[in-house]
Amino acid sequence: MGTFASPTRSATRPHSKWLDVPWLVFLLGLAVLPPFLDWHKQLILLVIGVVQLAEARLVAHWPRRGPILTVVLKILLATLLIDHTGEMIPTINSSYYPIYFVPVITAALYFGPAATLLWTMVTSAAYSSYLYPALKEYSIDAAGYSALAIRIFFFFLVGMVVNRVVVAYREQSNSYQHLAEQLTETNRALERAHAETRRSERLAALGQLTAGLAHEIRNPLGIIKGSAEMLNQKLASANPLAAELSGYISSEVNRLSALVSRFLDFARPLQAETRPMDVTEVLEKALRPVEEQWHGGKVMVVRAYQKDLPQVPLDATLCEQVFVNLVQNAFEAMGEEGGTLRLEVTERESDNRRGVEVRIQDSGPGISPELREQIFNPFVTTKTAGVGLGLSIVSQIMDEHHGWIRLLDADVRGAGFGLFFPLPKAASN
Ligand SMILES: Nc1ncnc2c1ncn2[C@@H]1O[C@H](COP(=O)(O)OP(=O)(O)OP(=O)(O)O)[C@@H](O)[C@H]1O
Ligand SMILES: [Mg+2]
């Protein structure tokens, strides 16, 4: 609701250019009525016409002050008009008094109910101010006062009725506007979804193509590697340079093979073949080779396995891959400095399902907030020799197990991952 001084926010009143025409006709009509020759009256009517024509621009230019200024101007002009049209009789009796409906209706159009009431009071006060000169020269009887009161009541009645209609109109147009905005937003979301679908389709096609390509690259790589090793054997004693170069070929081919295998792991459709197993067993099995091949700083492994854990349905090969990836990442994060790797396995409930949670926490540098958002997306890596597929493979495998993987809240130091393997529905009840 607007206040006395400020129009309601959506107080843009409906305005059409042609509406000015009846206005001008109305003012012209007043101009030719008696007292016809009073040029003051003609001038005031002219100014009222100008204010009326300029009103839309005034309000557009000063959305807050414009309406106030218009109403004030109209009250002043109406008061002046009355002054120049009531000379023969007490001014207050001027038959032009309905001109006060103009400021009252204008206020009703721009403001809320309270402000409309207030502006109507100001208008009535302006009109009643003619009581003072009138009482000096004439005496007004009870019937005169009641006639005046009736006129003023009508100001209020018209103001309130018009304001009610306008407020309802404003509310309706606000709700339409809100609806239109919602529709635009929905359209935008739909467009985004379309674009996203097209993008995923392109990516899927590209994925299939590259998976085929990767598969085909494997065989020649094997041959190159075998040939390099043969060359190495044959030339090692005679030509040290050839031996060194064939060594490079072998090691680079190894790197390429690892990359291709990783990519194929990622692109291959997964099919988890589960059977009830002890999670800690798979975890230990994954930990061993990573520990053995680790050449960085010393890592202390701390185990906190809950006793009597239930067996959960697992695909042992896929889950080993999960734990290898996570433990490998943890070792790589701790790097040359080494640190502590904490492995926790507990039975718990998540989303109304019972299951087993594995937590893998390291004491490395942790994961930056920007990276946390995208760490499970493919090809996100900060490592020079990384592919950035490890965690996306892990999350695919966890989906296949109907479980989840989550980043644990950033601890004081290090990174932590939680993995949940649910028990079958019947067993978890
Ligand atoms: N334990 C961790 N501590 C700190 N950062 C980590 C940890 N685990 C993952 N990250 C960050 O997440 C990124 C993505 O990990 P992800 O395993 O998916 O790929 P990668 O290890 O870089 O490459 P690869 O495909 O060879 O595994 C890493 O590059 C690293 O920046
Ligand atoms: Mg990794």
Structure tokens at 354: 């019972």
pLDDT tens digit at each of 429 positions of the chain: 344 445 554 444 555 567 778 888 888 888 888 776 778 888 998 999 899 888 888 999 999 999 999 999 999 999 998 888 765 456 677 888 999 999 999 999 999 999 999 999 999 999 999 888 878 887 888 888 898 899 999 999 999 999 999 999 999 999 999 999 999 999 999 999 999 899 888 878 877 888 888 888 888 999 999 998 888 888 877 888 888 888 889 889 988 888 888 888 888 778 889 999 999 999 999 999 999 999 999 999 999 999 999 999 999 999 999 999 999 999 999 999 999 999 999 999 998 999 999 999 999 999 998 898 889 988 899 998 888 889 999 999 999 999 999 999 876 689 999 999 999 987 555
The contacts of residue 49 (CB under 8 Å, 6+ apart) are 23, 24, 27
Is the N-terminal amide bond of 103 cis, ω within 30° of 0? no
Q: Measured from the CB, is residue 158 less than 6 Å from ligand 1? A: no
Contact 97, 130 (CB under 8 A): no
CA–chain centroid gap for 27, Å, is 52
Mutate to test the pocket of ligand 1, among 331, 359, 381, 396 (most ligand atoms within 8 A of CB): 381
DSSP 2-21: --SSS--TT------GGGHH
Q: Measured from the CB, is residue 367 less than 6 Å from ligand 1? A: yes
Ligand nearest to the CA of 387: 1
Choices 3.30.565.10, 3.30.465.10, 3.30.310.80, 3.30.70.940: CATH for 275-428: 3.30.565.10
The contacts of residue 90 (CB under 8 Å, 6+ apart) are 130, 133, 134, 137, 138, 140
DSSP 8-class letter at 270: P
Give the bridge partners for 348, in sequence order.
355
CA–chain centroid gap for 60, Å, is 30
Q: Measured from the CB, is residue 382 less than 6 Å from ligand 1? A: yes
Give the bridge partners for 300, in sequence order.
340
- Nearest Cα residue to atom 8 of ligand 1: 329
Ligand 2 midpoint to CA 206 (Å): 23
Angle at 5 between CA 4 and CA 6, to 5 degrees: 105
- Nearest Cα residue to atom 1 of ligand 1: 330
Q: Measured from the CB, is residue 383 less than 6 Å from ligand 1? A: yes
Domain range list for the chain: 275-428
Q: Measured from the CB, is residue 407 less than 6 Å from ligand 1? A: no
